Amino acid sequence: MQGINFIVDDQSKKIAVVIDLEKYGELWEDFYDNLLVTQRKDEPRESLESVKASLLKQGKLSEHG
């Protein structure tokens, strides 16, 4: 596939890939976002109310919006 090259080891096993970001930059962003989601899926969640309260306390959010 043009714009995608595989790096192989001594046994011709694919171990890495080089992607032409000019051609496939948006695809790479989607792939990377998916990796982040997968990596963080077991992290603790914080409620919207908790986030709002923290932002209010830090002065980064006003009471009215």
Whether 22 is in a domain gets the answer yes
3-state secondary structure of 40: helix
Give yes or no for residue 43 having a pLDDT over 90: yes
pLDDT at residue 9 above 70? Answer: yes
Q: Is residue 63 part of a domain?
A: no
What's the domain count of the chain? 1
Look at residue 62 and tell me if it is in a domain.
no
Instruction: State the DSSP code for 44.
Output: P
Determine the distance from the C-alpha atom of residue 52 to the mean position of all C-alpha atoms in its chain, rounded to a whole number: 24
Tell whether 65 is covered by a domain. no
* Within a domain: 13: yes
**pLDDT for 63:** 83
- Structural domain span for residue 14: 4-57
